[in-house]
Amino acid sequence: MAEGLKVLSTFPFSLNSQMALRQAAQADVVCVTSSDELRDRLRETEILCSERIPDDWRGLAPHLRWLQVAGAGVDNLQPTGILSPESGVVITTAIGINASTIGEYVIGSMLMFNRTWPEMVRLQERHIWPLSANWYKLGGRELGEQTIGIIGLGHIGRRVAQLAAAFGMRVLATRHSTRSGDTAPDVDRLYPLSQLHELLHQCDYVVLAVPLTPETELLIGEAELRAMQPHTYLVNIARGRIIDEQALIRALREGWIGGAGLDVAAEEPLPADSPLYSMPNVILTPHISGVSVHYEQRLATLFADNLQRYRSGQALRNLYNPARGY
């Protein structure tokens, strides 16, 4: 059992959560609020909970043994070298704790597109009451009996599949480890990524829920967008670089697809001159699909469990796999 742990967090845990974490660690858990304070305290730190770490962490944190990432994605840590197996630091992620939140976001985005909700809000702001939906091309699509393609059947993808099935949708999905004949709950058919175009062509809605890895970067380019149908609605809650953004802009302008719900962008913040802001068939949000009033408690529960596992020498949950990149 490890004694005298030095635990540091840049995540602003509540006082109640800090108490639970201290009990799990059997040690003090220090929460810092600035980069300078983080750098000052890293020298004695053995365990860090954070979404970021200085590039020169090796010199600053000679005793660091475990990084609990406060989010699901780790691509922002790639330049630091801490994800390398040679770093000597165990990496765990918070993957899965926001699956319900993002699942609801995906369904909400699809419903907003179906009902042309952004346009109706703009009409309300202008004090306009259309006498007919046809006057402003207000939509009336339904989710039932439509086909959704989920690219990436991880925690989030499985939750989206569950919700989509509840709406009576036909659910197709890709999964990294899919083999012929594999099945999954709430999924009508599983596809390997090698059959991505076959899946895309069937879909009324496509949801991107894969991590950003060398395999998935620019996964959706011109060929994939053209494989979709002219009414297909594409939702990206993964990472902006999963899509060739310039090809997407062209696809939206020229009607290769019907629209897009984008919570992420290739460059964040999205530049003010991006045409995506003014496109009527785009619903934009600033990378907040995972934001929830329950996030802090769920992260604290996961971290506390892992702290207990660390102290007792058990396997940690959500271990990062360098071979897969997530």
- pLDDT exceeds 90 at position 62: yes
Per-residue pLDDT tens digits for 118-176: 999 999 999 999 998 888 889 889 999 999 999 999 999 999 999 999 999 999 999 98
Per-residue pLDDT tens digits for 164-210: 999 999 999 999 888 888 999 999 999 999 999 999 999 999 999 99
CA 202 centroid distance within chain = 24
Angle at 152 between CA 286 and CA 267, to 5 degrees: 30
What pLDDT sits at residue 181?
84
Report the C-alpha gap between 270 and 113 in whole angstroms.
21
Q: Which of 115, 250, 287, 309 is catalytic?
A: 287
Contact in structure between 254 and 233 (CB atoms under 8 Å): no
Report the C-alpha gap between 68 and 51 in whole angstroms.
8
Go through the chain and tell me how many residues it has.
Answer: 326
What pLDDT sits at residue 217?
97
pLDDT-derived band at 92, boundaries 50, 70, 90: very high
Query: Which tokens sit at 184?
Result: 């999954």
pLDDT-derived band at 3, boundaries 50, 70, 90: low
List the chain domain ranges.
7-97+293-312, 99-284
Neighbours of 31 (CB within 10 A): 18
Residue 268 is a catalytic residue: yes
Report the C-alpha gap between 110 and 112 in whole angstroms.
5
Report the C-alpha gap between 79 and 65 in whole angstroms.
18
Q: Please name the helix (run of DSSP H) or strand (run of DSSP E) that holds residue 59, with its range, or none.
A: helix 57-60
Superfamily of domain 99-284: NAD(P)-binding Rossmann-like Domain (3.40.50.720)
Q: Where are the beta strands (DSSP E) in 36-188?
A: 47-50, 66-69, 90-92, 147-151, 170-174
Report the C-alpha gap between 189 and 169 in whole angstroms.
12
Residue 287 is a catalytic residue: yes
Per-residue pLDDT tens digits for 206-251: 999 999 999 999 999 999 999 999 999 999 999 999 999 999 999 9
DSSP state of 137: T
* Block residue for tokens 């201290």: 22
The two domains 7-97+293-312 and 99-284 share their CATH topology (first three levels equal): yes
Q: Torsion over CA of 124, 128, 129 and 131, rounded to 10 degrees?
A: -140
Contact in structure between 223 and 211 (CB atoms under 8 Å): no
Q: Torsion over CA of 254, 141, 233 and 286, rounded to 10 degrees?
A: 110
Residue 65 is a catalytic residue: no
CATH 3.20.20.105 for domain 7-97+293-312: no
What pLDDT sits at residue 139?
83
Report the C-alpha gap between 155 and 73 in whole angstroms.
13
Query: Which tokens sit at 149?
Result: 């393609």
